[in-house]
Amino acid sequence: MRSMRSILLLVSVLLCFSLNSASAKRYMMSIHTASPLHMQRQHFGKMKVSFLKVGQGDATLITLPNGQTMLIDGGPYEAGEVIIQKLIEKGINHLDAIVSTHPDMDHIGGLIPIVEQMPVSLILDSGKTYSSFTYHTYRNHIKKRGIPFVSVKEGQYIPLDPHVSIQVLNNGKSKDENNESSIVLKVRYGKADFLLMGDADVRTETEILKQFDVHADVLKVGHHGSYTSTSEMFIKKVEPQFAILSYGSRNPYGHPHQSVVRRLKQHGIMIYGTNKRTVEMETDGEHITIGSSGLMPLLK
């Protein structure tokens, strides 16, 4: 079943993405005859979203209703082993997709041991290249493992589960700064919307507002709560019930900035941080459960 799901993922991505690697394209073309039998399944189940405790960094694990798994970033290098252990605890021994939002060390560093040690079907990237040792090590491990590597485009959908919409709202193909190039994802299951901002800054927020519907129940706050992100206008448009801040305690950057925390609180948004523990969310598309807090009805 796992291998069938992986094949179907790759077939779907072939239809939606242009590959930036000839070898990846040949690999994808070799399996174009797979039959999408599991698409007919009627029991949708629940979607689980884990905002992982990785210190001063960022990593989010999504387990979709059909069982597909997607890891968005991997925190700094030392977080890689922690994430692998977390995956093992959850019974996950394979990742259907990894999304590397942008090439900063605190987002892709932990992906190096993950790519090295775990089976991965596909890696989705912002398209932003970088000259750092961490980035080159990361890319070399991907090539060594022969994992298909795809640069996503704005507006495209990532077809991992037919009942879940995963749309790319920003990529980094033509952006100069790493944070500005960060992949932004909107994940929708039923009535539940998650907006995952990576390290996107205010300029990126403004661009996204012009093109997309950003309303979401859960906002993964951009750039660890830095003052460079999460403007007043953006918060008003998103109208989240919950905000997630991914950061490490006593970090040298002052994350999250108090001005951002204050703005979120002024809008009555419930704030959760990954500095002390992983934030676990689960949704059936009608309600969201946060840890052991019980069902939270969606205000729609």
Confidence label for 181 from pLDDT (cuts 50, 70 and 90): confident
Average pLDDT over residues 152-163: 96
- Residue 199 clears pLDDT 80, i.e. is over it: yes
- Residue 267 clears pLDDT 90, i.e. is over it: yes
86 CB contacts (<8 Å, ≥6 apart)?
50, 52, 61, 278
Superfamily for the 2-36+44-289 domain: Ribonuclease Z/Hydroxyacylglutathione hydrolase-like (3.60.15.10)
What is the separation, in whole angstroms, between the first and last Cα of the chain?
A: 36
Q: Which pair of structure tokens corresponds to residue 294?
A: 């019980």
pLDDT of amino acid 224: 83
- Residue 259 clears pLDDT 90, i.e. is over it: yes
- Residue 33 clears pLDDT 60, i.e. is over it: no
- Residue 32 clears pLDDT 50, i.e. is over it: no
222 CB contacts (<8 Å, ≥6 apart)?
182, 197, 198, 199, 200, 201, 204, 205, 229, 230
- Domain ranges for the chain, please list them: 2-36+44-289
